[in-house]
Structure 1
Amino acid sequence: MAVVTLNPGLVVRLQELQPGSSFVLPNQSLRVVGSLQSFDSTSGIAVLVDAGASLRLDLEHLRELPLRVGSLFEFIGELEVDTTQQLTLKARVGRNVDGMDMKLFDKVLQLRRRFEKDYKHN
């Protein structure tokens, strides 16, 4: 029996997913948060936006997730990078997080990264 290992999603903000970023690696497991801008139920393709940045999502495996354009969502999945450097997150987990305080989310993310950096050096 083959063992499949799923990595936890690395928490990133959409604006951090730029060409040359250390977060932009094929098959990198990511966790992202943003507002659902659009969703095509036929193709399963959606667009998530946050702070002027956007990310294409493949929601093929999340067809039963109740989606509402304009709502805040969190997705975990693997990043696909095509030959034109277009990024698509192939989502495996998704949830509505309407009401989440994004300013507090940013503070916590900064503190977590500082802790992980300090912990790594010790």
Structure 2
Amino acid sequence: MASSAIKPGILVALQELDSSSPLFKHGSSLRVTGKLQEYCVETAIAVIIDGNISLKIDTQHLRDISFHAILQARVGRNVDGIDLNLYHQSLQLRRWFEANHLSARKT
């Protein structure tokens, strides 16, 4: 009697996954690790990398994991040592000031 249960994933490095590998076959249950390089929300396709090797992964069946869209940076600044609590307070004060200033100009 054949079991239809999913087998535990075999730990493999991305470098081990080439077309000649016995691990590289349909239905294999693998466990891979890599750095998330990109993720497409529309297709649920993630690309992970390890060194110069990349792997596309269909993530549509993953649960309890949410990948966030990536912000495209145009400007970067080194803010080492910033007091984030003070930054958030100043941001709130600025928004309050702008809201009051804009409403005063309209009247």
TM range (shorter): 0.5 to 0.7
Give the Cα separation in 2 of the matches to 1:5 and 1:32.
20
Does residue 1:20 correspond to 2:31, yes or no?
A: no
Contact 2:41/2:69, CA 8 A, preserved across alignment? no
Does residue 1:38 correspond to 2:38, yes or no?
A: yes
Give the Cα separation in 1 of the matches to 2:31 and 2:39.
19
For the pair shown, the structure with the greater C-alpha radius of gyration is 2
Structure 2: gaps (5+ residues): 71-107
The amino acid of 1:56's aligned partner reads K
More strand by share: 1
Deviations 1:22-67, CA, capped at 9 Å, x for gaps: 2111111000000000000011011010021111100101265132
Instruction: Name the structure, 1 or 2, with higher relative contact order (CA <8 Å, separation 6+).
Output: 1
Runs of 4+ in 1 over 6 A off after TM superposition: none
Using a 3 Å threshold, how does the CA distance of structure 1 residues 63 and 40 change in structure 2: closer, same or farther? Answer: farther
The amino acid of 1:11's aligned partner reads L
SS at match of 1:54: strand
Using a 3 Å threshold, how does the CA distance of structure 1 residues 8 and 53 change in structure 2: closer, same or farther? Answer: same
Q: Give the TM-score of the pair, scaled to structure 1.
A: 0.50
